[in-house]
Structure 1
Amino acid sequence: MPKTQFQNVVFTAIMAFVMVYGMIVYNISLNTGGVSTMCFLAAFHEVPIMVPIAFVLELFMVGRIAHILAFQVMRPDDRPAFITYAISLCICTMMCPIMSLIATILFKEDKTFGTFVQTWGMNFPMAIFYQMFYCGPFVRWIYRHIFTEK
Structure 2
Amino acid sequence: MPKTKFQDVIFTIMMVILMVYAMICYNIAISMGGLSNQVFLMAFSEMPIMCAVAFVLEFLVVGRVVKNITFKTIDPAKTQPIFITLMISALTVCFMCPVMSFVASVLFNYSGADKIVSTWLQITVMNFPMAMFWQLCYAGPIVRKIFRTIFKKQLAKDK
- Per the normalisation by structure 2, the TM-score is 0.91
Residues 1:130 and 2:134 aligned together: yes
User: 1:113 Cα deviation (Å)?
Assistant: 1.0
C-alpha separation between the residues in 1 aligned to 2:71 and 2:137?
Answer: 22
Which 4+ residue blocks in structure 1 deviate beyond 2 angstroms? none
The alignment yields a C-alpha RMSD, in angstroms, of 0.9
Partners of 1:98 and 1:116 in 2: how far apart?
9
Give unpaired runs (5+ residues) of structure 2: none
Query: What residue in structure 2 maps to residue 12 of structure 1?
Result: 12
Which runs of 5 or more structure 1 residues have no equivalent in the other structure? none
- 2:89 matched to 1:121? no
Residue 141 of structure 1: which of 140, 145, 159 is its match? 145
Structure of greater Rg: 2
Amino acid at match of 1:17: I
Q: Secondary structure at the match of 2:119?
A: helix
Look up the match of 2:35: 35
For these two proteins, the number of residue pairs brought into alignment is 150
Once the 2 structures are TM-superposed, how far is the Cα of residue 109 of structure 1 from its aligned partner? 4.0
Report the equivalent of 2:111: 110
Q: Distance in 1 between matches of 2:83 and 2:40?
A: 32
TM-score normalised over the length of structure 1: 0.97
Which moves more between the two structures, 109-118 or 60-69?
109-118
